[in-house]
Amino acid sequence: MRLNIKSFFIPLGLLPLHLSAQGPVTGFFPEGGETVLALTLADERFDRYNFGDEPREAVQRSGSVSFFMEHGLRDHTSLIVTAPYIWVDADDRGFQDVSVWLKYRNGYRESGAAKWTTATAVGLSFPIADYPTMSSNPIGQKATYFQGRLVVQYQAPFGVFFHLQSGIDFQIIPTVRQAIPVLFRAGAGSRIVFAEAWLEYYNTLSNGIDQTLAAGEGSDWLRTGGTLYFTITPAFGLYANGAFMLGGQNVGLSRRFGVGFVLRI
């Protein structure tokens, strides 16, 4: 029996919070009329922050609940919405930035039992709450982004997939910036359990040097992580994930762990 791998796939939109790169775009599509819902509870912390290339001691811990929805408009087109709620302290908490995406499958080819998929997506991320941006621990910068992604994905018949994604982010508010993300993912699974690992590089063009935490001067980073998913029923599953910042500019050298569930309706 072949693995229906898309029933295990956990979108990366459930993972990142303070950073903007990892979008919720995958190479898998829900069927027309099908909806995928997910909720993630996560804890993230760091004790060093790179102000430009210079690491300094800076401690921050945050918690979050992230909502994800992907609805199949047609078999080859889907609508994606994400919304994280983040808390750092009594003053720095609230809904951060909503992300709305439209994803389209440009190409699909079967080679024997293997499958090749190409997809494009466009998205808009914008703040929905009046959270402070000049505090000592801001949850964001009230930035508005237009985002574009191109995805190439290979799915083997024995439950293994490889995924490469890149594109561009245009920040239009509060300042104009451009950034290039590159994301590689690989995973494998059975009917009961699925595991994946990923590596992400993000480069902001002509970034400055942060003078305070999350000052919004543009970030570069290299980050890795993974997800372990367990099927409970064909429509419901539980997962745990983690992410680790390997290095970069204007970023906290953070580690994050989360748990959550996925429901298909």
pLDDT for position 24:
85
* Burial per residue of 52-74, b for 16 or more beta-carbon CB atoms within 10 angstroms, e otherwise: eeeeeebebebbbbbbbbbbbee
pLDDT for position 13:
40
pLDDT at 3 over 70: no
pLDDT digits (tens, 9 = 90+) for 188-242: 988 899 999 999 999 999 777 776 676 567 889 999 999 999 999 989 999 999 9
> What is the CATH classification number for the domain harbouring 10?
2.40.160.40
pLDDT for position 9:
55
pTM (two decimals): 0.89
pLDDT for position 140:
85
Strands 35-51 vs 193-204: parallel, antiparallel or unpaired: unpaired
pLDDT digits (tens, 9 = 90+) for 140-184: 889 999 999 999 999 988 889 999 999 999 999 888 899 999 999
pLDDT for position 233:
93
Percent above pLDDT 70 for the chain? 89
pLDDT at 21 over 80: no
pLDDT at 260 over 60: yes
Chain mean pLDDT for the chain: 87
Confidence band for 14, pLDDT divided at 50, 70 and 90: very low
Strands 93-95 vs 236-249: parallel, antiparallel or unpaired: unpaired
What domain range is 183 assigned to? 5-264
Integer Cα distance of 13 and 31 in angstroms: 19
Instruction: Indicate the residue type of 249.
Output: Q
Number of domains in the chain: 1
Q: What is the mean pLDDT of the segment spanning 57-74?
A: 93
pLDDT for position 6:
56
241: tokens are: 């994930």
Confidence band for 18, pLDDT divided at 50, 70 and 90: very low
pLDDT for position 17:
44
pLDDT at 7 over 80: no
pLDDT at 63 over 80: yes
